[in-house]
Amino acid sequence: NLNIQCLATPCHTTGHICYYVTDQDTNEKLVFTGDTLFLGGCGRFFEGTAEQMYSALVEKLGSLPPDTKVYCGHEYSLQNLGFGAHVEPENPDLSEKISWCKEKREL
């Protein structure tokens, strides 16, 4: 009883899509973001524009229900958060999330 919806999210590539999945039995919601959204960052613009990435991140993925679980296509968390900490070295949220990521990698 899964409902799978393809969300067109061009930018990384012109044909890039994300999969939004809902389970009709459990009401669980998931999104597989491929190369569009990562923890602490977004994908590179290989074939698209900033306007397309904005649409993908804000208008499409950002409009999903807040209890949607996000599954990224790659694990770039520490690299992305490290860049954020370089830009905002006094940001406690970044420091906390970096510690959280390191703990999860040790499991």
pTM recorded for the entire structure: 0.89
Predicted confidence (pLDDT) per residue in 19-71, tens digit: 999 999 999 999 999 999 999 999 999 999 999 999 999 999 999 999 999 99
Q: What is the pLDDT of residue 59?
A: 97
Q: Tell me if residue 48 falls in helix, strand or coil.
A: coil
pLDDT grade for 107, boundaries at 50, 70 and 90: confident
Mean residue pLDDT across the chain: 96
- The bridge status of strand 29-34 relative to strand 2-8 is unpaired
List C-alpha distances in Å: 63 to 4, 7, 55, 56, 66.
16, 12, 10, 10, 8
